[in-house]
Structure formats: structure tokens, C-alpha cells
Amino acid sequence: MSWYYYPDDDDYGYEDTSTLSDYSTPSDAIIINGPVYAESKRGDIGREWWGQQWVMAMENLGLDGRLGRGKRYARNGSVRRLEISKGMVYAEVQGSQKNPYRVAIHLRLLNDKSWDSALEMLAEQAIYAAKLLAGEMPGDIEAVFQHVDLSLFPQKKRDIQFVCSCPDWGDPCKHAAAVYYLIAEQLDVDPFILFHIRGRQRDEILKILRGYDIDESSVTEAQIESLSVENFWTSHEIPLIRQMPTRLSEPLSLKQLGNPPGMITDDFHDIYATVSQAAQRWLGLD
């Protein structure tokens, strides 16, 4: 099975690796020897915001292929090896044949100009830069990339390509879907992996940020003191990037903890919907 997208820009080009016969492990690859088992044993895969957004990106693109069977493959240890490198995730997945199938998921690399724009914006937002330099990934860093018309997650079909040596023409096949789900769980553990796939390793990001003159005092005590209950939502004193996270089908607390005792589940859903609508109006997204 293979998909090919031919974008209108050389930066997006993909190598024809439909057989993957000449694949060799890149020097920057993160190698995970298997069998690899999904941590999630039932329901959705992706615990943290990053993993969930990764899965939703595929669903939003209409890449529904063999997702159900892909989950089973991700959970039963069919994936024998994962290699995560710049622009590509390679895997060996045991199917019905004696030898494992070879799978490659290609992600469009962000070019140097795009990375420069994103990192410059990160440096201007001191809180983001400070967290990254401390080894922490800000939960809403995607907003920084969106601010410069980029995204860390695949948004168009040309952003991603699936290749598998199996004969299944599902889009994607169950073997590739299993690998995609396991990437989601890797992002749960280390969201910096998404940087890696899109073209920059953690150390490269931190080295570049250290080269900027980051003013960590840009949010001053005087600015904070100027805020009050009355002007908190309208003040322009602090130039924060505002992001509307993707709304889940139900409150995250219920997904994580299950339904509360008694008859208040419907109340939680009503509150969740009301707060989401208010946030959309505040951000001008309604």
C-alpha cells in the first residue's frame, strides 16, 4: 500500500520508497525495539493533549482507512520496531505473512525559513522560551506556530504520506494506522518528538533559543499588578498568544476519571459546553 502526494513545492518532495528495500536507519533516529504495545488497552489512544491532537489530525483529514484494526495491531504487539527520525517514522509490523511488513510514515519537514519564523516568535514570547530552555514543552505551543501560519500537526493530505509493503490499499492500511497510533503515545511521553519529526531535534531547538537575547522580564510585576478582575480578559498589557484548543467530544476530566457518582454528569456537559462557547466568543471564533 502506498499513497503519493505531489505538492507544488520542492520542499515538500517525498522519495519513492514504496518497497522500502533500500531503507537504512538514519543517524538521528530514535529507536524503539519491540514488540511495542500501546499503553491504552481500550477506548481512545492518546492521553495527553499532544497525543490526542495527533490522532485528531488524522481523523480530521478523513484518513479513516483501517483505524479500528490499526488500534488492535497497536495494542497486541504487532509493531516489532519503531524508528523516529526527521521527516519519517519507520516501523516493522507483523502481519499475516512470515516476515514483518515495512511501514514508513513521511511527515513534511518544515523548511529553515519556517523554523526561523517559529523560533523567533518563541523567543519573543519569553514564557515559551523559558519553559523550553528548562526542558518543558508548553502545552499550547502550537499557537505560536499558528501565529506564523504553520502547524506542527499535519493539516493537509500533502503534509503526510503512508507507505507499507503490504498489499492492502486502505488509506491508511492497518499496519500504518497501528504505527500512527503508537506515535501518539510516544508524543504523550515526549512531545519534543514532534519537533524531531518536523525537522528539528530538541538539542537544536534549545541551542538556537540560547542564541536569542530573551527578555524573561518582559512580563513585569507592574504589568501583572495592572490587571484586575474587571480588565483581565480585555487588557492588552501582556502580549500573550491566545489559542482555542481543539474541543474534545466530552470534558477531559470525564474521559480521564469516568462519570461522577449521582446524576450530575449532564451538568458537567452543560458547563463544559457553556465555557467552550464563551471562550470561542472571547477569541472571536464563534
pLDDT at 45 over 60: yes
Residue 60 lies in a domain: yes
Nearest to 179 by CA among 29, 24, 20, 34: 34
Confidence (pLDDT) at 94: 92
Kindly report the length of the chain: 286
Low-confidence winner among 99-113, 145-159, 204-218 (lowest mean pLDDT): 204-218
pLDDT at 222 over 50: no
Amino acid, single-letter form, for residue 248: L
Residue 209 lies in a domain: no
Q: Which domain holds residue 187?
A: 10-110+150-200
Residue 214 lies in a domain: no
Show Cβ contacts of residue 238 under 8 Å, excluding neighbours closer than 6 positions. Answer: 219, 223, 224, 227
Residues 39 and 103 in one domain: yes
Instruction: Report the domain count for the chain.
Output: 2
Encode 127-146: b = buried (16+ Cβ within 10 Å), e = exposed.
ebbebbeeeebbeebbbbbb
Considering 76-80, 93-97, 208-212, the range whose residues carry the highest mean pLDDT is 76-80
Confidence (pLDDT) at 74: 92
Considering 61-70, 142-151, 233-242, the range whose residues carry the highest mean pLDDT is 142-151
Residue 4 lies in a domain: no
What residue has cell string 499588578?
225
Residue 235 lies in a domain: no
Structure confidence by residue, pLDDT tens digits, 188-218:
888 889 999 999 998 888 888 887 765 544 4
Rounded to the nearest 10 degrees, the angle between the axes of helix 67-75 and helix 174-189 is 60
Tell me the C-alpha distance between 79 and 175, whole Å: 8
> Per-residue pLDDT averaged across 51-58, rounded?
86
> Per-residue pLDDT averaged across 85-111, rounded?
92
Residue 130 lies in a domain: no
pTM passes above 0.85: no
Confidence (pLDDT) at 221: 45
C-alpha R_g of the chain:
21
Residues 171 and 285 in one domain: no
Tell me the C-alpha distance between 101 and 81, whole Å: 11
Residues 154 and 286 in one domain: no
Q: Which of 165, 185, 200 is the last residue of a domain?
A: 200
Low-confidence winner among 3-12, 76-85, 146-155, 259-268 (lowest mean pLDDT): 3-12
Q: Which of 170, 200, 230 is the last residue of a domain?
A: 200
